[in-house]
Structure 1
Amino acid sequence: MNKAVTFSIEIFPPRDAAGWNQFDQTLTRLKKLQPRFCSVTYGAGGSARRGSDIALAHVQRQTSLTPAAHLTCVALSRNETLDIARHWWAEGIRHIVALRGDMAEAGTPFHPHPAGYKYAAELVAALRDLADFEISVGCYPEIHPESHDRLADLFNLKQKLNAGAIRAISQFFFEPEVFLRFRDAAAAIGIHHPLVPGILPILDFNKAAGFARRCGASIPKWLIDRFDGLENESDARGQVAASLAVSMCERLIAEGVQNFHFYTLNRPTLTLAICHALGIQPALERAA
């Protein structure tokens, strides 16, 4: 396996004591693989803002991982948004994943705060002026659900990158060709920044399908068939999920992809298995 292959992870703020235990297990098990950074989600409409702040501080102070803070345009004025960014900078957090974000009520069209940022590109430009943050943005291999068409979606991505972001992390997808076609289309309009595929290990197929419907990711019939009948077979389901993710990543690596972003859902086992299968192993094992 190409030693240049690297990865990052995404986690979400815990809500209770059991969640904190799982959160710590996720960090402990995955930090051995030295991910490039660990992004902490923000919650629709900023609904997990306080929890996100606590989780970020925990990653920053209690682990060797590099935290990346999610920040959205939802429900805050420009001054309030920048105050959050200033606070993170003072805490030593240097990486922000800048997103437009979604409203707290599922399915509600985005409405900017009257005094807030309307688009992620505006947020990126403001953060770039504020401090020397490393800024990532999101992208949609199958088009954002609210975009008019592929070209409009790509030009929006180009605006975010030109505003000062250094990479775009993709929404998850289930077939490598989806990402490769997107990458080709992006290159055709002059996007040459790193596009990092987002990988969602399928812990629960029905839950993953629900996520997909909300973000516009297509679910191929062959994938439905692979998980059919495994509802009560957790071990077999995990083996199928890992095998499919490894196969997809290997195809992407063969096409020149070197960086991946894993949506862990605070469940590290599948991500750990996938990384090992791809040759991403703990530093001590590599040294041996």
Structure 2
Amino acid sequence: MELSFEFFPPKSADGIEKLRATRARLMPLKPRFVSVTFGAGGSTQQGTLDTVIEIARSGVEAAPHLSCIGASAASIAAILGQFRENGIRRIVALRGDLPSGMVEIGEFPYASDLVRFIRRETGDWFHIEVAAYPEYHPQARSPRDDLDNLVRKFEAGADSAITQYFFNADAYFRLRDDASRRGIAAPIVPGIMPITNYAQLSRFSAMCGAEVPRWIGRRLESFGDDRESIRAFGLDVVSAMCERLLAEGVPGLHFYTLNGAAATEAVCRRLGLGAA
């Protein structure tokens, strides 16, 4: 069972120092790799690369997110060339969201198109991660269509998938089993979101289509501004779900850290993972 973490590229000097401090706390957990998100329209493209290079120089494998919506083949090829020049061997390949004000979808309407292009241009140089959705992509026409999209990404050459976060383990198990029945043997790693801030969690969940079960939402609401109670309850909920996932033999856990260490570190400690 492997751990991995997601970071986002910091946009200020203070943010850079915060991420360095977060990494210092989380690296003793010995992650297999860390991923670094990618801003739509190139807004954090350079920040992603800079962050990945710094992490890689510390001896930890780092995987940049690569978003293709609105992009041209030439621009993607140029980015792939930069990655290769810097010794990057893993990518998280995503469709992404169309940048604000842009109407052209570009040459890659779907993530499967991006995966196919990466394979055609670079062969087996990159380990390609893709996204999976236990509660279905918010733009999917049906659960079947969403599963079809995941299958196409693997058929195009993806090596493994990381899921959107969820708080209902049964949704993950259903995705895993449905994918297996469609012939997918590659790892599908559950994405884990620690709970530290209810307003923030609600906002993220509304944007990405992840469900916060009513009983969890009501309990979090009842704590008001009591951050300590929110964190303690969140630790219980997320740890219990992870214990169930681990008991079912998941291939790994991928934590959405939001560039903070405490919540992820606490869950891993509760689970007895890593060196923490």
Q: What's the TM-score bracket when you normalise by the shorter of the two chains?
A: over 0.9
Inter-partner Cα distance in structure 1 for 2:103 and 2:64? 21
Counterpart in the other structure of 1:167: 160
Aligned residue pairs total 274
Whether the 8 Å CA contact 1:98–1:120 is kept in 2: the answer is: yes
Counterpart in the other structure of 2:93: 98
Residue of structure 2 aligned with 1:122, choices 113, 138, 150: 113
Query: What TM-score, normalized to structure 1?
Result: 0.90
State the shift of 1:138 in Å: 0.3
Q: Which residue identity is paired with 2:28?
A: K
Q: State the identity %.
A: 39
Counterpart in the other structure of 2:241: 248
Structure 1, 40-49 or 82-91: larger mean CA deviation:
40-49
Q: Which residue identity is paired with 1:119?
A: Y
State the shift of 1:17 in Å: 1.6
Question: Can you list the C-alpha shifts for 1:163-215, whole angstroms capped at 9, x where unaligned?
Answer: 11111100011111111122122222222211110001112111111111111
Whether the 8 Å CA contact 1:46–1:74 is kept in 2: the answer is: no
Counterpart in the other structure of 2:68: 73
SS in structure 1 at match of 2:3: strand
Whether the 8 Å CA contact 2:191–2:255 is kept in 1: the answer is: yes
Matches within 5 A, 1:1-288: 5-61=1-57, 63-105=58-100, 111-113=104-106, 116-131=107-122, 132-282=125-275
Q: Hey, which bits of structure 1, 4+ residues long, moved more than 3 A?
A: 108-111
Whether the 8 Å CA contact 2:198–2:221 is kept in 1: the answer is: no
Question: Can you list the C-alpha shifts for 1:90-123, whole angstroms capped at 9, x where unaligned?
Answer: 1011100000111233xx998522xx22211111
Whether the 8 Å CA contact 2:98–2:105 is kept in 1: the answer is: no
SS in structure 1 at match of 2:254: strand
Inter-partner Cα distance in structure 2 for 1:157 and 1:258? 18
Structure 2 gap segments, 5+ residues each: none
Structure 1, 42-51 or 119-128: larger mean CA deviation:
42-51
Query: What TM-score, normalized to structure 2?
Result: 0.94
Whether the 8 Å CA contact 1:45–1:102 is kept in 2: the answer is: no
Q: Which residue identity is paired with 2:71?
A: L
SS in structure 2 at match of 1:228: helix
SS in structure 1 at match of 2:211: coil
Whether the 8 Å CA contact 1:42–1:52 is kept in 2: the answer is: yes
SS in structure 1 at match of 2:29: coil
Distance 1:110 1:154, change over 3 A: farther
Inter-partner Cα distance in structure 1 for 2:259 and 2:224? 20
Structure 1, 28-37 or 226-235: larger mean CA deviation:
226-235
Structure 1 gap segments, 5+ residues each: none
Whether the 8 Å CA contact 1:47–1:104 is kept in 2: the answer is: no
Distance 1:163 1:110, change over 3 A: farther
Whether the 8 Å CA contact 2:5–2:35 is kept in 1: the answer is: yes
Distance 1:183 1:93, change over 3 A: same
State the shift of 1:73 in Å: 0.8
CA RMSD after TM alignment? 1.7
Q: Which residue identity is paired with 1:120?
A: A
Inter-partner Cα distance in structure 1 for 2:31 and 2:274? 11
